[in-house]
Amino acid sequence: MDYIVKDIKLSLQGKTKIEWAFSNMKVVGKIRERFSQEKPLKGIKIAACLHVTPETAV
C-alpha cells in the first residue's frame, strides 16, 4: 500500500490511543470480534466517509 507518513515518531502515540480506544469501547470491540467471525458484510460493497480518529481505528 502506498502512503505518506508525515511524522513516523508519532506512531507509538497513535498505537497507544488506538489500544486505549479498543480497551475502553467494549461494545465496539465486541461488534468487531463478532463481525470478524461471522463476516455479515462479505460480498457487499460499502462506502463511508469519516474522520480518522483513534476510535474509528477500532
Q: What is the pLDDT of residues 15-52, one digit of tens each?
A: 898 888 888 888 888 888 999 999 999 999 988 887 87
Number of domains in the chain: 1
Cell 468487531 belongs to which residue?
Answer: 32
How deeply is 23 buried, as exposed, middle or buried, from its count of CB atoms within 10 A (0-12, 13-18, 19+)? exposed
Q: How far apart are CA 20 and CA 14, in angstroms?
A: 10
Residue 53 located in a structural domain = yes
Q: What is the separation of C-alpha 22 from the centre of its chain, rounded to a whole number of angstroms?
A: 9
Residue 3 located in a structural domain = no
Q: How far apart are CA 27 and CA 33, in angstroms?
A: 10
Residue 33 located in a structural domain = yes
Show the domain range for 36. 10-57
Confidence band of 1 (pLDDT split at 50, 70, 90): low
Residue 4 located in a structural domain = no
